[in-house]
Structure 1
């Protein structure tokens, strides 16, 4: 019975994680057009997007940490993992931005 409730708690946390992840991804995607219009260099896109999507990144980071804590991770392990995932998203969208510039 306890396992059932623990499983349900992880599913609920995962759902919150997905909403926060989607919000962050939508914000990053929106920055492609803004960066193009502002003629942001490809090398500066990650900094530009991090600043523009700071609120969404914070929400995503908090959701990732909460999920990991519920899964039994320590905060000391969960925080750098969340930061790494956010960094991966920024790097991925920076690559997409670079590709969009070279396609023109």
Structure 2
């Protein structure tokens, strides 16, 4: 893993700082290398292997708790909030209640 350490540090820096790849500090190597390896490792399944190894090491050191807590809450939205179609006839649009000039003159 020694030869990939700098690349891992570069990838971690990029996501920790939320900075563009081009802002990668020089001491972490060329940004193109880190970006290409990130993509390559995603495609070839390296990231799941790393996660498995890290979890196994943490479990062996008793640094991880495996207690699982699952909770679910369901809140129904009103049908109009969900964009449901309205049923029935459309409401009539009322006409403005103003008098015309001709009506007032009479």
TM-score (norm 2): 0.25
- TM-score normalised by L of structure 1: 0.26
Higher normalized helix content (fraction of residues): 1
Structure number with the bigger relative contact order (C-alpha 8 A, sep ≥ 6) is 1
